[in-house]
Amino acid sequence: MVMLRLAAEQYRKLPILVDEETCLGKTYVITGGNSGLGLETARRLVAASAERVVLAVRNLKAGETAKKDIEITSARKGVVELRHLDMSSYESVQSFAQEISRSLDRIDGFICNAGVMLDAWSETENMETSMFVNVVSTLFLGILMMPNLKERAKSFNMKPNLVFIVSVLGYTTKREMDKSRKAPIIDGLNEKKRANINSRYALTKLVEEFAVREFASVCSVEKTDVIITMVAPGLCNTGLGRDAGRITKVMHEGIRAMMARRAEEGSRTYLHGLLGGDEGHSRLLSGCKVKEFWVPAWVTNEEGKTLQKGISDELASILESVQPGCVSQLH
């Protein structure tokens, strides 16, 4: 059912949600903003008169190329700024969050877009790399930014949007998730012998969704004035998977050739998550609509909520050991 819905949506025309003045005077931050959907979203925001668009990139040379490209196509200079961010490092995430909070007087939207798709086991910060980058450091960054977003919401009487990128492919990995339902869950997810690396990307997106749902429930709009959304952009022609092996690349290129959206079209789903209202908080967005009805019952029922809480508690313990107080301050 998940794959049928995804396939059907791939061919639907998505609305253009911005015009020349939609983002006038506003500031946005996009991680992984030098290519793919991040780049195209940044291009749209600049064309919509954003005052500042910060691209958080691992490779500053690639970031500079992206910046020049946006400036040429939008005919606007002095808007795009670059910041270094390596999502495979706790220290880099901490430094970036501190620097951004200090240097930007306002943040209207923040997109946690950076992620990896790997088909071989590797480890970063004592954890399998894709689980670390797509889940642990991504949530860490969102958590570290929350105090700043709350403060800016109050100062400017607005509601910033914090956007996480998920995938409905995650719903196909229930069997893989079931291998690690018993505590400690994250330790189980970090066992090489237990893992099916071919479904790893989808699994990380499912785990991320559980973590974001708990994060959003703790940080309600009523409490924070920050809107936390989860966007599933669908299959798009991007560089995702460029770090995978040749066979995986060929397979994905074949699938993309048949049904993938252009990156510009996919970026419209990001803009929907970034510019939408309270109704999107803690809910799945896809195809520029709320698609909470797509979410399987086993994700949101009591068993799912138990798993969600377990993942979040373990993640909190990990992050508190890295930066004491970062999670407890949310409550």
Locus of tokens 């999670």 = 327
* Per-residue pLDDT at 155 exceeds 50: yes
* Per-residue pLDDT at 66 exceeds 90: yes
Average pLDDT over residues 161-169: 96
Average pLDDT over residues 311-331: 96
Helices (H), the chain: 2-10, 36-47, 60-74, 90-103, 129-131, 138-156, 174-178, 185-189, 200-218, 221-224, 246-259, 263-275, 297-300, 302-322
What's residue 82's pLDDT?
98
* Per-residue pLDDT at 159 exceeds 80: yes
Catalytic choice (167, 267, 282, 312): 167
CA separation for the pair 191, 25 (Å, rounded) = 47
* Per-residue pLDDT at 246 exceeds 60: no
pTM of the model: 0.93
* Per-residue pLDDT at 262 exceeds 80: yes
Catalytic choice (130, 205, 267, 312): 205
Taking the mean position of all CA atoms in its chain, how far away is CA 247?
A: 26
Q: Of residues 238 and 118, which shows the higher confidence score?
A: 118
* Per-residue pLDDT at 38 exceeds 50: yes
* Per-residue pLDDT at 252 exceeds 70: no
What's residue 249's pLDDT?
47
What's residue 192's pLDDT?
94
Q: Decide if 205 is catalytic.
A: yes
Average pLDDT over residues 308-330: 97
Percentage of the residues of the chain whose pLDDT score is greater than 90: 83
CA separation for the pair 310, 322 (Å, rounded) = 19
205 CB-near residues (< 8 Å, 6+ apart):
134, 166, 167, 169, 170
* Per-residue pLDDT at 244 exceeds 70: no
User: 83-95: per-residue pLDDT in tens?
Assistant: 999 999 999 999 9
* Residue 135: pLDDT band with limits 50, 70, 90: very high
* Residue 316: pLDDT band with limits 50, 70, 90: very high
Catalytic choice (201, 267, 270, 286): 201
What's residue 7's pLDDT?
67
Q: Which residues pair with 111 in a beta bridge?
A: 30, 163
Q: Decide if 167 is catalytic.
A: yes
CA separation for the pair 195, 176 (Å, rounded) = 8
What's residue 182's pLDDT?
87
Q: Decide if 201 is catalytic.
A: yes
* Per-residue pLDDT at 14 exceeds 80: yes
Q: Give the angle 63-67-73 at the CA atoms, nearest 5°.
A: 145
* 56 membership: H or E segment, kind and range: strand 52-57
What's residue 250's pLDDT?
43
Average pLDDT over residues 304-321: 98
For residue 170, CA distances in Å to 82, 205, 254 come to: 31, 5, 21
Does residue 158 sit in helix, strand or coil?
coil
* Per-residue pLDDT at 255 exceeds 80: no
Question: Which amino acid would we find at residue 125?
Answer: E
* Complete domains list, the chain, with CATH: 2-320 (3.40.50.720)
CA separation for the pair 251, 37 (Å, rounded) = 20
CA separation for the pair 73, 58 (Å, rounded) = 23
* Per-residue pLDDT at 245 exceeds 80: no
CA separation for the pair 267, 43 (Å, rounded) = 9
Mean of the per-residue pLDDT values of the chain: 92
User: 166-221: per-residue pLDDT in tens?
Assistant: 999 999 999 999 999 988 999 999 999 999 998 999 999 999 999 999 999 999 99
